[in-house]
Amino acid sequence: MFSFIARIGDSFLYMIRDQGRMGIFLLSALRGIFARPFRFREVVRQIRIIGADSVWVIFFTALFTGMVLGLQGYYTLRKFGSEGLLGSAVALSLIRELGPVLTALMVIGRAGSAMCAEIGIMRNSEQLDALECMAVDPFRYLITPKFLATIISIPILTQFFNIIGIVGGYIAGVILLGVNPGAFHSGIEQSVVNLDINLGIVKSFVFALLVVWICTGKGYFVNILRNAGFGAEGVSRATTNAVVVSSISVLIWDYLITAIML
């Protein structure tokens, strides 16, 4: 009985310590933004890795998501004789929800997992310790550029996703299924308002911060994660953990932001 209570208490204390560690990690990474000299070249390099190299993944995800929306939307709206609203349905779904969420999830899968593994391996092979021993701040040198690059890349990729998604919806709805192109365009113009755009932008910034924070943090603390194991297995589990936790966090915050802003 006592051991059961002790285990609950131990888990609770671990959770508190973990939240504290991650909180201090976030503050240290954000503080690095204001440290000089500004690592412009490293930030640009990370934007290429996290942002530019994700363009094709985002392109195909957006195109086919938009086409499926066009297809499903057409058959659903046709039942009510409202095919003309297809542009509105596709654009609102993408701008408000699917654009920010799917972009964040794709970046987690492509770049977030890689960030976690990279930093985890550096931790295990004492490269982070080596940086500290050379009096080089690992946050300023390694973590902050990834923060900045992700916070810049995800909102841009989200807007790219929205545009390609709407094009996908147009291809499926107008070109393949024969919806009136004028109705498709005017549907978008009449239904999308500033609030929708702002909602999407706020979500993309929040998701970017969540993704980079969780993925780099899980890698940075790979050696003290509970049940993570050591060596390659530890990095593998930390990476899985980072992908799962950041994906779920994105979905939870998607709901919270929508509830607050609408």
Partner 1 sequence: MGLFDYGNNVMSKAVIEFHNVVKSFGDQRVLDGVNVSFEIGKTTVIAGGSGQGKSVTLKLILGLLQPDSGQIIIAGQDITKLKRRHLNDVRKNFGVLFQGAALLDSMSVYENLALPLKERTAYKSADIDQRVHEMLAQFNLGGHGDKFPAQLSGGMKKRVGLARALMLQPEIMLFDEPTTGLDPHITLEIYRLFYKTQKQYGYTSIIVSHDIPKVFNLADRVILLTNGKMATFSSPEEIPESDDPDVISFAVETMGHIYSSRDMEQKI
Give the interface with partner 1 as residue ranges (CB under 8 A). 118, 121-122, 125-127, 129-137, 141
Distance of closest approach, residue 133 Cβ to partner 1, in angstroms: 4
Length of the chain: 262
Q: Compare residues 173 and 234 and give the one whose CB is closer to partner 1.
A: 234
Q: Compare residues 25 and 170 and give the one whose CB is closer to partner 1.
A: 25
Q: Compare residues 129 and 189 and give the one whose CB is closer to partner 1.
A: 129
Q: Compare residues 88 and 124 and give the one whose CB is closer to partner 1.
A: 124
* Token digits of residue 117: 């593994």
- Give the closest residue to 107 by CA, choosing from 168, 53, 180: 53
Distance of closest approach, residue 193 Cβ to partner 1, in angstroms: 46
Distance of closest approach, residue 131 Cβ to partner 1, in angstroms: 8
Q: Compare residues 112 and 138 and give the one whose CB is closer to partner 1.
A: 138
Distance of closest approach, residue 141 Cβ to partner 1, in angstroms: 7
The span from the CA of 233 to the CA of 254, in Å, is: 31
User: Taking a C-beta distance cutoff of 8 angstroms, is the pair 154, 204 a contact?
Assistant: yes
Distance of closest approach, residue 54 Cβ to partner 1, in angstroms: 19
* Token digits of residue 246: 């950041």
Where does residue 117 rank: exposed (0-12), middle (13-18), buried (19+ CB within 10 A)?
buried
Residue whose token pair is 């970046």? 107
